[in-house]
Structure 1
Amino acid sequence: MEGLLVSQTQKRKKNRKQSPCSSCRQRQRQSWSHSPSASPSPFPPRTPNGTAHSSNHHSSSHAQAHTHSYYSHNSNHHHSNSCPNRKKATGLAKRKAMKGQSPNRRKKRAATILSCWIQPTSAQGFTVVQTPATVKEGDNVILNIQGYTGSAREYVWYRKKSAQDPGRVKIVTFYSNHLYQSPSNIRQKVLANGSLIIPNLIVIDDGYYEVQINDSSSQILKGGAPLKVYDGPEKITILPKHVHGQIEVLLNKKLILECQASSEPPAQYTWQVNGSSRAGNSGNIYAISKLSWGHSGTYTCMAMNSVINTAISKNIRVRVYEPSGGSIRGGDVVAGIVIGVLAGVALIVALIYYMVIGESSGE
């Protein structure tokens, strides 16, 4: 009896040695599962008599068709940088994709899908529009968010020098669920739709304003617009330096008057001489190559900001004099004549007065 058991055991071991190895059987299962007509089960299909198909039953045409299947595409091709379609990575499609893959590969694909879901989205679907389009110092402006139809959790506003500037400074965060902004004690205010109000503009408000929308679907949307604050002209001056608004220049010498005013954009300049415009000198420099007596008078510089239609002016008096003898001509001659006439009139009036008084006292 014992000899019979020993012989049967040896026979079973011999049969197992002659059977295909486990790795061969695993390759057979993979080849069967890759067939387009195969069932999703990891076990090979069986014939009506209950036996499994042999691996050599697959023709070369079947193997060629396998290159277009999901499994062979992922095993024979490099992964692209683009994210997979979310619909293919969820539900039934996701469960099918997991079959026939190793646990490590499943983890890698799950991590890829998750990373694609949490990537920020660039500015799409909305714009930021400045209202009004042109503003100056002291005005109020609204940076309106237009075209956004999602459900936002937060609006975060930043300011930077330009759209391409990588550095940005956070201004304010608005929490939509609580209708609350932080910080709350600042000049800038956020409306319920995320738009930003900046009152009492100053020059340093210039820059590019960017809004980041964190919506309820875990997307991050970004958009922005530049803001330009115009000002001036102001602080107007005329060179060379003068005393009490007057300069004195030698006869036949050159005269250069320079007008300066702070303005954004730069001011446009015009000149007037004794109240008459000088179209030929329409810059901030007024030059006379050789002074004559007729150049004495009042010179007016007018600086204008053509964008916001503001202007400012300043006057300076020019006196031309002759170096020999130190006499002063030009405007002083006219003044002397006027003074002489007035003195003569005063003398005549005085003589008449004394004559009338003297006659009255003689009587």
Structure 2
Amino acid sequence: MPVYKDEKRGTYYFIVWYKDIYGRPKQKMKRGFKKEKDAKLAEAEFIVEHKNGSSPDATFEHVFYHNIKHSELKPKTERRRINEYNRHMKGKFGQLKMKDITTQQCLDFKHYLLEQLNSSESARTVYSGFKIVINHAIKYFDLERDPAKGVPPIKRPKRKHKYIRRSDLENRVKDFENPVFKQMCIFMFFTGLRVGEAAALQWVDVDLDSKEADVNKTLDFYKKEFGPPKTTSSEDIVPLADFLIDMLIEIKKEQRSGYYGFNENYQVFGGLRPISYAVFHKAFKKVFPEFTPHDLRHSFASYLANQGVDIFVLKSLMRHDNIQETINTYGHLYKEKKHEAISFLNQ
């Protein structure tokens, strides 16, 4: 196809006809090239890309970004996957055609991840992202075979959660220099909220009379903006204990008297603006060096399980997608309940 000169602007442009993935004719025009050769090069690249764009001749990188574009990913997940691609996949597979990737290369990549990454869980996450690209090519790019089919998967390691005892929490939260961080830790321990959910909580989400909190968003600490909760089940109404209501009433009273223009859109923990995760994390590790903020959520579940709360109720309070997730994560805490059930056979 010819390249044209825009006499008015003194630049070059190209026009090319092509077929989209549905076989429909489309026209592409791109302007603004300073040199004729730049326009011709861009035209050639466009033709090659769309000629191979829906075939197994497409490169791994093309399929990867096609998958990113057409998947409904949360911003945090998209950033993670692109970072994993750039760090571990681009140099090895980026410019390879999907049809040319071999089983041996997939096996070598698996061993590379297990050797280079700190944990098998991290290696499994990256390898899963690699498999997503291959499956996407099979589904949308007519890739006939799965080169990773013969490679044994990276097994999911059994996680060992750390639990903070209630008495230990109550003794150690006194060491927080920032009272907001202290209050947020107490709230997370007794509600099971994730740190992003607690940081995103606004007064409009809290019903002090009904003793409930509406978890409907999470704070993306990287972009400093609100987004949807982790899963659809994470969006739910959380009941609040009486002593948490008393604490929230005091926090709201202090904010109302301390902040000019206070309104219901203020953050419960932080006031006018959400807290900084970096600052919170540093303060948390100073008080709980052997734990992470997410361990507060596991500790909430552990405390309820040890108090004999039914596992189906626990599933609801933890806002899990399904009961299997609750059983896989906290089922071991119900060992005494199993013995109690069997004891009825002795009667």
TM-score bracket for this pair, using the shorter chain length: under 0.3
Rg larger in structure: 1
Would you tell me which structure has more helix in proportion to its own residues? 2
Normalising by structure 2, we get a TM-score of 0.25
Normalising by structure 1, we get a TM-score of 0.25
Would you tell me which structure has more strand in proportion to its own residues? 1
| RCO comparison, higher one (Cα < 8 Å, 6+) | 2
